Each structure stands twice: as structure tokens, then as C-alpha cells.
Amino acid sequence: MTDPRLTPLAAGLPATVPFTGPETLERAAGRPFAARLGANESVFGPSPRAVEAMRAAAAEVWMYADPEAQELRAALAAHHGCGAEHIRLGEGIDGLLGLLVRLTVGPGDAVVTSEGAYPTFAFHVAGFGGMLHKVPYRGDYEDPGALLDKAREVGAKLIYLANPDNPMGTCHPPEVIERMVNGIPEGALLVLDEAYVDFAPAAPRIDPADPRVIRMRTFSKAYGLAGLRVGWALGPADLIASFDRVRNHFGMGRIAQAGALAALGDQDWLAQVRGKVAQAQDRIAGIAAGNGLAALPSAANFTAVDCGQDGAFAARVLSGLAARGVFVRMPGPAPLSRCIRISAGTEADLARLAEALPGALQDARG
């Protein structure tokens, strides 16, 4: 039953959630997964310096953290070569997307995304009454031209693009994104989700002051801090400042800020992680090939593996893997849903995948 005191907007929202957590699946199955390869976490962990910083901060956690996060914002600003006025922190990109949609999208406002792109963005757009317009992927890539055309057609406030893409792992080269920025219609904002950009060969050159773009970054992926909940938005100062009108000012904790700061300072660790991810992706591609499947090229820390049939088949493969203790996810709509999405794992994780996949495929075919 819906509480009668909800607003009409809230009362009309579905009770579904964007993602079911692996812990919920484990509770349903009655046992933990042996390989956790579904959430694109970094199994290689955070920098030991970040772990040390978090442990030290635990003793000071009786204090609220600096609501302006001045130290971390200054370090991020130096990292990007811009001023701290271009940066705001949030509880992961998920939290920042929610704030951005709240700031810019009112009931009925048009927003453009791709069919099969990040469900949590769609969750927030629905949550504020926005009207989501979707364009198809083109050859497993999000389609900048189609996104811009649709944005012009519907008068979109926001255009969402993840590059590298999740769930497919494909990545447009910098010049494609830079050209897209030049085509953004008046009144629209490109929300460029760069959660996985640390794994990409190159990032587009975009001036943080460019009023047409806001970029979303995170410590959850390459920095190995998914469970810490720290993301940052990078964009024009006016828009960035407006987050202060609505954000939970004391929402970013003390251990979170300390861990993120230390992680940012250890770029050597990041380079090591990138190397391990590349190795893991080679291994995933090899496992796929050994089972007659094709791995898509990926610029992220996961690999989409084409199971060669339709979404129902891929879903059976996914279930078969889960039954064998291997947690992966898959894209929702066709034609993306012919794939399963496998996060870069440790050697042990991928040995379990290699062991589980033949049986999962056999069950799916039988």
C-alpha cells in the first residue's frame, strides 16, 4: 500500500530498485558467491596508502567532516588543472546524478539517454518527474549523433552519455566526444559519465568551465573504493555551485574524504591496477573464445561477452553462472542483452569463471 501522504509524483513512482545487490542474491541462494564479478568493483583493492588513511581517520570519526571538503577538492582541482570551484563531491556518481537531475529537471522536462544505458540515471529522472527519451545503441556503442538529434527534437535539458560505456565497455575516442560537445543544442547539458575513464586509453579534452558539459568521476572503480561512496562532479562554476543549494552538506564523511585523498595521491597504484585489469580482460577473452563466445573490446574494468543468441539465452547463462557461484550481470534490452558483463577478476576469480562457464552454457543450450 502506498502511504496517502506521498506527493502525487512520489505516489506514482514504481517500487522497483535500479539494481539488486549481490548480498540480496546471496541471501536468496543461501550461500555467498565464490567470484564477485558483477558490480565492476576493483578486486585489486585500493592503494595501501588509502587503507592506511582510512584506518587513521577511524579514530577521528566522532567529528563531522569538513562540509566543503576543501582539502580533497583542492587535490582534485590540482589533478584536473582547474580551480576547486569547478568541483563538488557526492556519495558516488549515483548521488551526484540525483542532485543534478533535481537541479535541472522538473516534471515533464525532456532528458535523453540510450536504450540500455545506466539504469540509476533513469531512476533519478523518473524520480523527479522527467520525461526520458531513448535512442538505440549503434554497433554496441552509444550513438552521439542520435543523442544530439533526439535532444534537439525534444528540447532536452540533459543528455546522458557514459564514455567508456557501461554496460558494453565500448569507448569513443576523444575527438568524437569533443565533436559531440560542439553539437550540444542551446539549453541542454551533456552529462558525461566518466566512471571508467581511468581505464580508457585517453580522455577527451574539455575545459571544466565549458558551460555545455558536466563530467562525473568516481573513486569507486579504478581507485578501488566502491564501498566508500565518493564521486565528484566537474563542470562550470555556476552549475557546480548550485549543488550547494540542495546537497546534504555534511553528507560526505571523514573516513571517506581521507581515503579518497590518499587514493588520489597514489597514481602508481592506479597504473598497477590498469595493468592487472588488462591482464584479466585478456583472460576473460580467452575463456570466452575457449567456449566459442566473443568478448567485446573494452575500455573499462569489465568485459561484455556475446553469448551468441538472444537475451533469454544470456539470462540462462547468467543464472547458470550464479548457480555455480559466479556473480555477473547483463544488459537489459536487446540487442545488448545477448551479452553478459564480467568484471575484471583475480586469477582465482577467473579460474572459477573458466570452470563454471562450460556447464552454464550447456545448461542454457539444453
Contacts of its own copies in 102-131 (CB under 8 A): 102-106, 109, 120, 127
Please identify, using beta-carbon distances, which residue of 145 and 211 lies nearer to its own copies: 211
27 binds its own copies (CB under 8 A): yes
| Contact window for its own copies (CB under 8 A) among 74-82, 196-204, 234-242, 326-334 | 234-242
98 in contact with its own copies (CB under 8 A): yes
Instruction: Name the minimum Å distance from CB 305 to its own copies.
Output: 22
Query: How many CB atoms are closer than 10 A to CB 113?
Result: 25
Distant-in-sequence contacts of 133-137, Cβ < 8 A, 24+ apart: 137/168, 137/335, 137/336
Q: Which of 35, 41, 162, 326 binds its own copies (CB under 8 A)?
A: 41
Interface with its own copies, residue 246, by CB under 8 A: yes
With binding defined as CB under 8 A, does residue 260 bind its own copies? no
Rg of the chain's alpha carbons, rounded to an integer?
20
What the block records as the C-alpha cell of 304 is 561484455
Enumerate the β-bridge partners of residue 172.
none
Among 153, 175, 244, 268, binds its own copies (CB under 8 A): 244
CA dihedral angle for residue 346, residue 351, residue 356, residue 358, rounded to 10 degrees: 130
Q: Which stretch binds its own copies (CB under 8 A): 11-19, 72-80, 279-287, 300-308?
A: 11-19
Using DSSP's 3-state secondary structure scheme, residue 247 falls into coil
DSSP character at residue 185: P
User: Whose Cβ is closer to its own copies: residue 190's or residue 295's?
Assistant: 190
Work out the burial of residue 28: count CB atoms within 10 Å of its CB; fewer than 13 is exposed, 13-18 middle, 19 or more buried.
Answer: exposed
Q: Which listed range, 9-17, 73-81, 162-170, 327-335, lies at the site for its own copies (CB under 8 A)? A: 9-17
Element (H, E) at 302: strand 302-306
User: Under the criterion CB under 8 A, does residue 9 sit at the interface with its own copies?
Assistant: yes
Question: For residue 14, how many other CB atoms are within 10 A of its CB?
Answer: 7
- Cα separation, 173 vs 177, whole angstroms: 7
- Taking CA atoms, 110 is separated from 106, 139, 145, in Å, by 9, 25, 17
Q: Is 241 in the site for its own copies (CB under 8 A)?
A: yes
Q: Which cell numbers hold the place of 138?
A: 549503434
Q: Which of 113, 166, 218, 220 binds its own copies (CB under 8 A)?
A: 220
Residue 210 binds to its own copies (criterion: CB under 8 A): no
Residue (101 or 360) nearer to its own copies, CB: 101
Site for its own copies in 285-314 (CB under 8 A): none
Task: Kindly tell me which of 17 and 289 has the beta carbon lying closer to its own copies.
Answer: 17
355 forms beta bridges with: none
Class of residue 161 by CB neighbours under 10 A (exposed 0-12, middle 13-18, buried 19+): buried
Residue 347 binding its own copies, by CB under 8 A: no
What is the smallest separation between the CB atom of 201 and its own copies, expressed in angstroms? 24
Q: Which residues contact 237 (CB under 8 A, 6 or more apart)?
A: 83, 85, 86, 209
Interface with its own copies, residue 344, by CB under 8 A:
no
Residue 43 · residue 343 · CB < 8 Å: yes
Taking the least distance from each CB to its own copies, the nearer of 27 and 205 is: 27
What gap in Å lies between CA 114 and CA 98, rounded to an integer? Answer: 18
Closest distance to its own copies from the beta carbon of 265 (Å) = 16
Q: Closest CB to its own copies among 228 and 299? A: 228
Complex with its own copies: residue 54 or 307, whichever CB lies closer: 54
Which of 227, 290, 332, 359 is the binder for its own copies (CB under 8 A)? 227
